Amino acid sequence: MAEVNERPLDAVIFDLGGVMTEPLFRDRHDVDPAYLNLVAFFLSEFRDHYHLTTGAHDLHLLEMGRISDDEFFDRMCVRYAEAGNEPIDPRVAQKVIFGRGMVASSAMADAVRQVRGAGYKTALLTNISRAGEQLWRDLFRAEDLFDVVVDSSRVGMRKPDPRIYELTCERLGVAPDRCLFIDDLECNVEAAAALGMQVIQCLDPVVAADQVVRLVLGHPAAEEVEATS
pLDDT for the residue 2:
44
Q: What is the pLDDT of residues 129-186, one digit of tens each?
A: 999 888 888 888 899 999 999 999 999 999 999 999 999 999 999 999 999 999 999 9
Band of residue 29 on the pLDDT scale cut at 50, 70, 90? low
pLDDT tops 50 at residue 3: no
pLDDT tops 50 at residue 32: yes
Q: What is the pLDDT of residues 187-222, one digit of tens each?
A: 999 999 999 999 999 999 999 999 999 999 998 876
Residue 144 burial (CB < 10 Å; 0-12/13-18/19+)?
exposed
pLDDT for the residue 222:
61
Phi, psi of 134 (to 5 degrees): -65, -30
Q: What does the chain look like in DSSP terms, one character per residue? A: -PPP---S-SEEEE-IIIIIBS-SSS--TTS-GGGHHHHHHHHHHHHHHTT--S--SHHHHHHTTSS-HHHHHHHHHHHHHHTTPPP--HHHHHHHHHTT---B-HHHHHHHHHHHHTT-EEEEEE---GGGHHHHHTTS-HHHH-SEEEEHHHHT--TT-HHHHHHHHHHHT--GGGEEEEESSHHHHHHHHHTT-EEEE-SSHHHHHHHHHHHHHSS-HHHHHHHH-
* Domains of the chain, earliest start first: 11-23+102-228 (3.40.50.1000), 33-98 (no CATH)
Q: What is the pLDDT of residues 36-94, one digit of tens each?
A: 999 999 999 999 999 999 989 999 999 999 999 999 999 999 999 999 999 999 999 99
